[in-house]
């Protein structure tokens, strides 16, 4: 008690001494726990100012209690287990049973008091990224406050000066604590609910881990070579779809706490970036996009009107970020005819796999024995076959006639007859090659560069995968 009162007295510049001691002498609010990785329904505010709540992808919103005009939350920093997709569970650090921690939602003008209890094996703090607050509430261990020791609870108090899209994360042993999954979303709704109004408002954080196939704990010293590219500590096919009712105005907000940027690309629509962690973008300054790059430590929100039903892919456009760990060291064998060699190897190693392919698409459907607790590089099935995806990929499912708050997965889209790409069954014309004798050849013609008729069968090429495959990005 004594140490908490001292801390508040030193840090809370805005508060009077009387307020501080009352807060310190009160009881600590409950810290609700969530251990399921499912997407929980939005938390409709039971009290306080009204707002239209967000939906956290594969996550949940932290309930609060009102105490004399203060909205009180309780976060517990602790080790957690997180299923990243069926078949793989990671040992991470997070808040209230999950990585990322629960989303915090409040309203512009709210007075917010957040209790943070440290159940980690080392000290921590929480920085409230993008939120305008008194310096002593900024959560930078050593700079604006003493670190929260193991087993202790600290209190953060501030008034929400503006609405917007923010996040929280430790500012103590950051490299380790963020590599272990400590982070959460923080949404401040406008005081006027009609302002920036949308029908569906989704949030998630982009994070990355380096976990050896078969292991469960991330390698915390990895700088760039991560192998699990996640949205809210989930990878495809473990990421929930964005379920949207036709005609809804939709906002998707995300923040990037990885070590590289992510061009987030959505199919089927163009959209406008309407908010960053710096604030709302004025209408006159918005421009259309179909991909928006989110740099490290940035947040972006885009909006669109969902007027075209379908299953629209949404993913990071870096092709290595839509893959899972297993199989990255498969050598490139495209164009190599090693059928004779493969037969000889099979005599020595009976379960050596030979894949007759002209690319890696077979990886999407192959039945390769995996070590426990990892995921294949390309996986997942759709209504037309394997999706050959992993990592940062999911689907925006736009459907007619959903109920206002219905976020249940409606299944695959049923395409109206005559609206799906189809096979041409007629004659195929011979492909036109380059002129046989170009006027000024830039490079000498090689056999590889010469044109072949499209109808010619490609030479049979075999690709092999050895098992078990050691991870090497």
Q: Per-residue DSSP letters for 329-367?
A: T----TT---HHHHHHHHHHSTT-EEEE-SSSGGGGT--
| Residue 318 interacts with Cu ion (CB under 5 A): yes or no | yes
How many residues in the shown chain lie near Cu ion by CB under 5 A?
Answer: 4
| Residue 321 interacts with Cu ion (CB under 5 A): yes or no | yes
CB nearer Cu ion, residue 321 or residue 464: 321
CB nearer Cu ion, residue 74 or residue 321: 321
CB atoms within 10 A of CB 54: 24
Residue 262-301 contact track with Cu ion, rule CB under 5 A, x = bound: x---------------------------------------
CB of 392 to Cu ion, least distance (A): 5
Residue 168-207 contact track with Cu ion, rule CB under 5 A, x = bound: ----------------------------------------
Reported for 422-426, long-range contacts at CB under 8 A and 24+ positions apart, including other chains, are none
CB nearer Cu ion, residue 73 or residue 209: 209
CB of 229 to Cu ion, least distance (A): 6
Cα–Cα distance, 117 to 108 (Å, whole number): 25
CB nearer Cu ion, residue 162 or residue 318: 318
CB of 104 to Cu ion, least distance (A): 25
Q: Is 301 helix (H, G, I), strand (E, B) or coil?
A: strand
Cα–Cα distance, 237 to 230 (Å, whole number): 11
Please report, as residue ranges, which positions from 228 to 267 form the binding site for Cu ion (by CB under 5 A). Answer: 262
- Segment interacting with Cu ion (CB under 5 A) among 29-37, 243-251, 311-319, 345-353: 311-319
- Segment interacting with Cu ion (CB under 5 A) among 185-193, 280-288, 318-326, 436-444: 318-326
Of the residues 15, 131, 316, 323, which one makes contact with Cu ion according to CB under 5 A: 316
CB nearer Cu ion, residue 295 or residue 341: 295
Sequence-ordered alpha helix ranges (H) in 12-78:
17-25
| Residue 208 interacts with Cu ion (CB under 5 A): yes or no | no
CB nearer Cu ion, residue 52 or residue 256: 256
CB nearer Cu ion, residue 7 or residue 231: 231
Plot region of 173 (φ>0 → left; ψ -120 to 50 → alpha; else → beta): left
Residue 114 contacts residue 62 (beta carbons within 8 Å)? no
Q: Is 272 helix (H, G, I), strand (E, B) or coil?
A: strand
DSSP 162: S
Handedness of CA 383, 386, 388, 389 (dihedral sign): positive
CB of 382 to Cu ion, least distance (A): 21
CB nearer Cu ion, residue 73 or residue 229: 229
- Segment interacting with Cu ion (CB under 5 A) among 54-62, 315-323, 367-375, 402-410: 315-323
The angle formed by the CA atoms of residues 249, 253 and 259, to the nearest 5 degrees, is: 155
Residues in the chain, overall count? 473
CB nearer Cu ion, residue 119 or residue 318: 318
In the numeric block, which tokens belong to residue 349? 């190693």
Q: Which residues pair with 382 in a beta bridge?
A: 385
Residue 20 contacts residue 5 (beta carbons within 8 Å)? yes
Cα–Cα distance, 51 to 188 (Å, whole number): 10
| Residue 315 interacts with Cu ion (CB under 5 A): yes or no | no
- Interface with Cu ion (CB under 5 A): 262, 316, 318, 321
């Amino acid at each position: 008690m004594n140490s908490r009162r001292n801390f508040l007295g030193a840090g809370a510049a805005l508060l009077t001494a009387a307020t501080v001691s009352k807060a310190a002498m009160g009881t600590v609010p409950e810290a609700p726990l969530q251990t399921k990785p499912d997407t929980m329904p939005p938390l409709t505010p039971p009290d306080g100012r009204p707002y239209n709540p967000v939906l956290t992808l594969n996550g949940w919103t932290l309930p609060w209690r009102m105490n004399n005009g203060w909205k009180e939350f309780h976060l517990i920093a602790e080790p957690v287990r997180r299923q990243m997709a069926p078949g793989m569970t990671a040992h991470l650090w997070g808040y209230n049973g999950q990585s990322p921690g629960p989303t915090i939602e409040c309203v512009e003008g709210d007075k917010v008091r957040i209790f943070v209890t440290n159940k980690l094996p080392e000290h921590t703090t929480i920085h409230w990224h993008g939120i305008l607050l008194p310096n002593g509430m900024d959560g930078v261990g050593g700079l604006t406050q003493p670190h929260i020791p193991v087993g202790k609870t600290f209190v953060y108090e501030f008034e929400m000066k503006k609405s917007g899209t923010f996040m929280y994360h430790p500012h103590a042993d950051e490299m380790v604590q963020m590599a272990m999954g400590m982070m959460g979303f923080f949404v401040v709704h406008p005081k006027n609910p009609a302002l920036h109004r949308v029908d569906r408002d989704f949030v998630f954080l982009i994070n990355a881990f380096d976990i050896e196939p078969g292991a469960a704990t991330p390698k915390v010293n990895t700088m760039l070579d991560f192998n699990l590219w996640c949205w809210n500590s989930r990878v495809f096919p473990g990421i929930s779809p964005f379920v949207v009712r036709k005609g809804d105005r939709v906002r998707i907000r995300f923040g990037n706490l990885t070590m590289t940027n992510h061009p987030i690309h959505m199919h089927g629509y163009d959209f406008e970036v309407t908010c960053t962690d710096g604030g709302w973008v004025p209408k006159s300054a918005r421009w259309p996009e179909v991909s928006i790059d989110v740099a490290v430590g940035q947040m972006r929100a885009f909006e669109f009107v969902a007027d075209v039903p379908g299953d629209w892919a949404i993913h990071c456009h870096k092709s290595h970020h839509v893959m899972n760990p297993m199989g990255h060291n498969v050598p490139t064998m495209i164009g190599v005819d090693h059928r004779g060699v493969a037969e000889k190897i099979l005599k020595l190693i009976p379960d050596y796999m030979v894949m007759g392919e002209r690319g890696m698409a077979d990886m999407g459907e192959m039945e390769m024995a995996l070590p426990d607790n990892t995921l294949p590089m390309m996986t997942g099935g759709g209504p037309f076959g394997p999706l050959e995806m992993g990592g940062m990929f999911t689907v925006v499912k736009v459907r007619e006639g959903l109920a206002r708050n219905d976020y249940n997965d409606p299944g695959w889209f049923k395409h109206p007859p005559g609206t799906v790409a189809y096979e041409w069954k007629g004659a195929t014309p011979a492909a036109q090659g380059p002129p046989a004798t170009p006027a000024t050849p830039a490079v000498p013609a090689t056999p590889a560069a010469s044109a072949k008729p499209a109808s010619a069968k490609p030479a049979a090429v075999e690709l092999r995968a050895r098992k078990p495959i050691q991870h090497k990005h």
